[in-house]
Structure 1
Amino acid sequence: MTPPPKQKKAWFGKSLIYVGLIALTIACIIPFLMMIINATRSNEEVLSGFSLIPGNSLAENYAALSSYVNIWSGFKNSLIIAVLVTVLSGYFSAMTAFGFAFYQFKGKNVLFVFMLVMMMIPGQLGLIGFYELSKNLGLLDSFIPLIVPAIASPFTVFFVRQYLQTVMHPSLIEAARMDGASEMRIFHTIALPMMMPAIATMSIFTFIGSWNNYIMPLVLLFSPEKYTLPVLMGFLKGSQVAENLGSLYLGIAISVVPIMIAFLFLSKYIVSSISAGAVKE
């Protein structure tokens, strides 16, 4: 028995969509695959052209890379900064968003508009002033100016506030207050779990932005043992390591792996936490 024409048309449309998605997936995976493969090849093999066969020069490439920079020290520094910025920014941005969404106070609208304006101003414009401020406070060559200012994220606050207003009804807060719950308990036990999908979404961008931050660590850090991974990778451009493309690919691969892990982990967390925002009227 042959299927009806409508079912044939639907099946053809779905097949076309799946083929397109598979093609896009392959196109996205190939650059990462080539990066990993080239990290195992020698300079001559990389220059010889495209290949999907791994080489045997991984140890030599790692030795050449380690002879010039302490890649794992930069990895550790970047990880410390990125994790602290992501966690602190997510928590305090959620608290700020909760206040903007459900509390009434004087100057609320003015502060919210000011926050929206700050979203449109590039951070590089205040780099000189921020450097002078850090210098006067004695915070140069430390991680503090790289972590504390990044906690205040206007875009994260805006995104979480908009999300919270769609998933959380004010009556839920009123019911918790009538049961005797304090404001902090309401935030931690009711609002925060419901905001987790939005926080996880923004945490991906926060972590990637902090991990890839190059200008601020370059300006504020002076000690080589405190350099972040992007700064160390920038130093490789004019070094002898730049003559060994395999070593460069290896350094890039090491710097990209945490971003891929964070994205995969938080993506799963988003999917598993969608039900946390369900509210029954």
Structure 2
Amino acid sequence: MSHTFRTTIATSAIALLSIFALLPFYIMTIMGTYQNEDLFTKIVLLPGTYLIENFKTVAASRFDLVYWNSLIVSLASTVLSVFVSAFAGFAFAKHEFKYKNKIFAAVLLTMMIPGQLGLVAYVIEMRYLSMSGTLLPLILPWVANAFGVYWMTQFIKSAVPTEVLESARIDGCSDIGVFFRIVVAFIYPAITTLSLLVFLWSWNNYLLPLIIVNEPELYTIPLGITALGDAYRTDLAAQILGLTLGTIPVLILFAIGSKSFIRGLTAGSVKG
């Protein structure tokens, strides 16, 4: 079998898999151009003529505010989660302190407990701290991200040479300076990977906003899509259009950071 033939077979297989992977997104996009009743009477494969009306329905639900809320929550969650996880990972990976192993074991233990078990207590805590009625309860859980701490710890252990850190300290650099000037440069793939994951998890989070948020002004994308329609009719076509609009930022982020994302996953799997 010649090299050209093998390349053709591999390219054809990848193209076929790509088509199957993109087909659901294409159908979702097309369904947003039809009237709600048409979705129950035929299989839609070509664009419809009801896109403008569905856009009006989505816009009338203050979808721009929902979009803005999701951006605030997801961006704040990502920045805080990566910042805290990287600092904690640096401490666990390159510093020695009392009860270090026990604390790290406690962090890993929290990964084994389903988050749903603490929802009731978390709601009570937010009410006690007078944070209900704000977006803070949707951001704070991502700050204490056990997976992020574990991910950064394992990556820093293998990717950041201890000798480089010691040389920087000998030259008079503080721990904060060592972190921002040296460590961050080594762990850029891990930062990109964790940022994309946290943003995706926060953007698609449905259960926590459903329980915490009561005011429509604080709805995020999942709640905003669910709320489209009225008490007598669920407008599936408008919901699907909202879902398509809500998917666009995630696609853009993955398109921009896909190389670093894959590199971070690969480095973590091999070195961690």
Superposed pair shares fold, TM > 0.5: yes
Q: Secondary structure at the match of 1:40?
A: coil
Q: Deviations over 1:23-45 (max 9, x none)?
A: 11111111111111221222354
Whole-angstrom CA distance in 1 between matches of 2:262 and 2:116: 34
Residue 236 of structure 2 is matched in structure 1 by: 245
Residue 255 of structure 1 is matched in structure 2 by: 246
Q: Does 1:64 align with 2:63?
A: no
Whole-angstrom CA distance in 1 between matches of 2:135 and 2:44: 41
CA contact (8 A) 1:39 1:247 kept: yes
**Cα 1:101–1:237, aligned 2, differ >3 Å: closer, same or farther?**
farther
Residue 266 of structure 1 is matched in structure 2 by: 257
Q: Does 1:193 align with 2:185?
A: yes
Structure 2 counterparts to residues 110-259 of structure 1, below 5 A: 110-236=102-228, 239-240=231-232, 242=234, 244-259=235-250
CA contact (8 A) 1:85 1:150 kept: yes
Amino acid at match of 2:164: L
- What TM-score results when the alignment is normalised by the length of structure 2? 0.90
Whole-angstrom CA distance in 2 between matches of 1:192 and 1:210: 23
Whole-angstrom CA distance in 2 between matches of 1:234 and 1:245: 9
Residue 23 of structure 2 is matched in structure 1 by: 30
Q: Deviations over 1:111-165 (max 9, x none)?
A: 1111111111111100111111111111111111221231111111111211122
Amino acid at match of 1:129: A
Among 25, 32, 39, which residue is 1:39 paired with? Answer: 32
CA contact (8 A) 2:107 2:146 kept: yes
Specify every segment of 5 or more residues in structure 2 that has no aligned partner in the other structure, as ranges: 266-272
CA contact (8 A) 2:196 2:261 kept: no
Whole-angstrom CA distance in 2 between matches of 1:49 and 1:19: 31
- What TM-score results when the alignment is normalised by the length of structure 1? 0.87
CA contact (8 A) 2:226 2:239 kept: no
- The Cα of 1:270 is off from its aligned counterpart by 4.1
CA contact (8 A) 1:64 1:241 kept: no
Count of residue pairs the alignment pairs up: 267
Residue 277 of structure 1 is matched in structure 2 by: none
Whole-angstrom CA distance in 2 between matches of 1:52 and 1:89: 41
Whole-angstrom CA distance in 1 between matches of 2:181 and 2:18: 39
Whole-angstrom CA distance in 2 between matches of 1:149 and 1:51: 40
Q: Deviations over 1:51-104 (max 9, x none)?
A: 44222211111223334x221111110110000001111111111101100000
Structure 2 counterparts to residues 34-113 of structure 1, below 5 A: 34-67=27-60, 69-113=61-105
Among all aligned residue pairs of Structure 1 and Structure 2, give the percentage whose two residues are the same amino acid: 33
Deviates most, 181-190 or 221-230: 221-230
Amino acid at match of 1:104: E
Whole-angstrom CA distance in 2 between matches of 1:213 and 1:19: 36
Whole-angstrom CA distance in 2 between matches of 1:247 and 1:93: 38
Whole-angstrom CA distance in 2 between matches of 1:160 and 1:27: 34
